[in-house]
Amino acid sequence: MQNDIERVLINRGAIADRVRALADEITQDLCGSAASLPAPSPEQDAPQPARITLVPILTGSLIFVSDLIRHLPIQMQIHPVSISSYPGTATTSQGPKVCGDIDTLPDSLEGADVLVIDDILDSGNTLSLVTQLLEQRQPRSVRTCVMLRKQRLQAMSYPIDYVGFDIPDEFVVGYGLDYNGYYRNLPDIVTLRPEILGLKTAT
């Protein structure tokens, strides 16, 4: 597996530092207003804590989400959805498709502050599909977070709340991202050698 790596774009130390900083930012945004409410007088009911619902987009965000949530000291529910746009050996998007069940999402998210989490933002089609599914459930707010964003016009102009890293417009694997189902367990974010991706190398 290590021999298939072309180069390391982001190493595990930089990932860990950035995940912690993102979690601090998210905690501040989601809890900041509740935390700054005045203490209730004994006759008043205590202020309601925000109802936080996390929607991880599987499978790619699996490792990012599991790291991120351990730095979020917030009461939350987690409702994953499975979306696939790069089936099998594809290295370009075939369009996002819901795979499996969206019955994991509650019928109503009324009053919930939702945070959608994906591994990487490319065209924005995946986030847009999931955001639409959520808006139908009438949440109080929907925020979006990705670990990586590709430096291409469609991705850079897509409205997003939290981004871990901007990366070059290349196909990457590791830290949850796969090629043909493999390489998700690489701790760093890397590119693969062209011959592994079935691309012709220059002669």
Active site residue 122: yes
Closest CB 102 distance from ligand 5GP, rounded Å: 16
Among 71, 74, 178, 196, binds ligand 5GP (CB under 6 A): 178
Among 26, 52, 60, 64, binds Mg ion (CB under 5 A): 60
Among 119, 145, 189, 192, binds ligand 5GP (CB under 6 A): 119
Closest CB 155 distance from ligand 5GP, rounded Å: 7
The CA distances from residue 89 to 58, 93, 122, 171, 179, in Å, are: 17, 11, 17, 12, 6
The CA distances from residue 171 to 101, 122, 199, in Å, are: 28, 10, 12
* Contact status: 177 vs ligand 5GP (CB under 6 A): yes
Token digits of residue 105: 């999402």
- Partner touching 125 among Mg ion, ligand 5GP, none, CB below 5 to 8 Å by kind: ligand 5GP
- Provide the annotated active-site residues: 122
Name the site residues for ligand 5GP (rule: CB under 6 A).
Answer: 57, 60, 85-86, 93, 96, 118-126, 171-173, 177-179
